[in-house]
Amino acid sequence: MIRTRITDLLGIAHPIIQGGMMWVGRAELAAAVSNAGALGMLTALTQPTPDDLRHEIARCRALTDKPFGVNLTFLPSLNPPPYAAYREAIIDSGVRVVETAGSSPRVHIEHFKAHGITVLHKCTSVRHALSAERMGADVVSIDGFECAGHPGEDDTPGLVLIPATVDKVRVPVVASGGIGDGRGLIAALALGAEGVTMGTRFMATREAPVHEAVKQLLVDNDERSTRLILREYRNSGRVVHNTVADEVNRISGMGEPFAAVAPLVAGTRVRQVLETGNLEAGLIYAGQVQGLIRDIPSCAELIARIMDQAEAGIDRLGCVKKREPSRLD
């Protein structure tokens, strides 16, 4: 058993959190992760209305009696969703853990904290982690450059970003980006994190509400199978390499305004890929950890495997003795 401040704070058996992935973080997946001793995460904006989110929270609660959380992501938009109404749906439903992500999180963090909710805030830089801590976040989730979705604009990989964050903040740090097995968990703990978040790896599980063709693609791909998009607009995203990603980069590379690529990156097209398995219908957000995905297990099998591997690895490292100096030293 690996016990950290994260397991104690969240009331979970294992220091593993499921990422709050758009169109993927639904009740079946979140409940399966929580039932396996980790923390499942619903994605608020996957639900079309706050009332739909209330229903999904109730559905998840019917599938598990273990802790789970809700992700609420807020990004700049010409037509932003009713974030305040989503917040109220989360609070009214008695959810005790919320993962926030995106720009200008202060009002959201402060409101959740005022209602006694534990807040994890996702960041991609040390400076943002410090800001989140000042705003009252209980946990900082730090995304290395290897991650799926939006890795920020600093291009700092986890090997540097995780300990750099741990050195500066007092609250527990959760590491994400490039983690998919027990070796990644050990590495994160060694770097000072007290848990890990996994997104892409949970997409390739039996309970993930994702078409089998997408899951198999993640198995077949390797660590080179992603592309960065939208860099020209300072809204970088890491996605699976396909023809849509190439077209986005072709258009943006010509200096066209964002409106020229907006139809290609639309969330409705992402949803179409995930639900139909048409791998060229839109973007597929996934990280470089694809290079470590070999199969499509259940969440329980995956989490048990990760913990067995991590505990065995820690035991092995404990047996490594300091070598005697040689004549060459």
Looking at residue 321, its pLDDT comes to 57
Q: What's the CA gap between 180 and 42, in Å, rounded?
A: 19
Of 293, 286, 296, nearest to 225 by C-alpha is: 286
123 is a domain residue: yes
Looking at residue 322, its pLDDT comes to 52
Q: What is the 3-state secondary structure (H, E, C) of the chain?
A: CCCCHHHHHHCCCCCEEECCCCCCCCHHHHHHHHHCCCEEEEEHHHCCCHHHHHHHHHHHHHHCCCCEEEEEEECCCCCCCCHHHHHHHHHHCCCCEEEEEECCCHHHHHHHHHCCCEEEEEECCHHHHHHHHHHCCCEEEEECCCCCECCCCCCCCHHHHHHHHHCCCCCCEEEECCCCCHHHHHHHHHCCCCCEEECHHHHCCCCCCCCHHHHHHHHHCCCCCEEEECHHHCCCEEEECCHHHHHHHHHHHCCCCHHHCHHHHCHHHHHHHHHHCCCCCCCCECCHHHHHCCCCCCHHHHHHHHHHHHHHHHHHHHCCCCCCCCCCC
11 and 69 co-located in one domain: yes
Which CATH number goes with the domain that contains 19?
3.20.20.70
187 and 230 co-located in one domain: no
23 and 170 co-located in one domain: yes
> Which tokens go with 81?
């969703």
95 and 157 co-located in one domain: yes
Looking at residue 317, its pLDDT comes to 87
Q: What domain count does the chain have? A: 2
Percent of the chain at pLDDT above 90? 92
Count other Cβ atoms within 10 Å, centred on residue 49. 13
94 is a domain residue: yes
107 and 50 co-located in one domain: yes
16 and 78 co-located in one domain: yes
Weakly modelled stretches of the chain, pLDDT under 50 = 326, 328-329
Looking at residue 77, its pLDDT comes to 73
- Distance from chain centroid for Cα 160: 18
Domain range spanning residue 125?
Answer: 5-208+299-318
pLDDT tens-digit series, residues 154-211: 999 999 999 999 999 999 999 999 999 999 999 999 999 999 999 999 999 999 999 9
9 and 125 co-located in one domain: yes
What angle, rounded to 10 degrees, do the helices at 50-63 and 83-92 form? 30
285 is a domain residue: no
Looking at residue 75, its pLDDT comes to 79
200 and 236 co-located in one domain: no
